Amino acid sequence: MVDIHLDPQVLSGLQEVMEGEYPKLLDTFLDDSQKRVEALRKARDDAKALGQIAHSFKGSSGNLGAVRLAHLCQRLESESVEAAADLGALVDQIDREFALVRPMYELERERFGV
């Protein structure tokens, strides 16, 4: 299992590229991620829907340096194809991981005090 929750190098690179738009990027990621977590909870018995949501969530998480979250979404996306595993347990892990990284992103956002 991947142990890195948040890659600071990814955030640093994004901050450089995005400049003044960086705080907005963080806000958008947090809002979208919350919606995706809620969608995963609602779809926990629909393997196809879980796979689609996980695919999208994997991309945004990876792009913003949420390494473990992206890894968990990758697993859910892969396992949803077979629908043999306990997908609900993976949804719970994703939910817990987002709950863990959310305050890290909020602290990052506060550094820019808007």
For the stretch 4-43, pLDDT in tens is: 999 999 999 999 999 999 999 999 999 999 999 999 999 9
Distance CA 107, CA 74 (A): 26
The CATH number of 6-110, from 1.10.3470, 1.25.10, 1.10.8, 1.20.120, is 1.20.120
Q: Convert the pLDDT of each residue in 47-94 to its tens digit.
A: 999 999 999 999 999 999 999 999 999 999 999 988 766 799 999 999
pTM of the model: 0.92
CB 15 within 8 A of CB 108: no
**Contact yes or no for 90/80 (Cβ under 8 A):** no
CA distance 62 to 55: 11
Ordered by start, the domain boundaries in the chain are 6-110
Residue 114 confidence class, pLDDT cut points 50, 70, 90: low
Contact 79, 58 (CB under 8 A): no
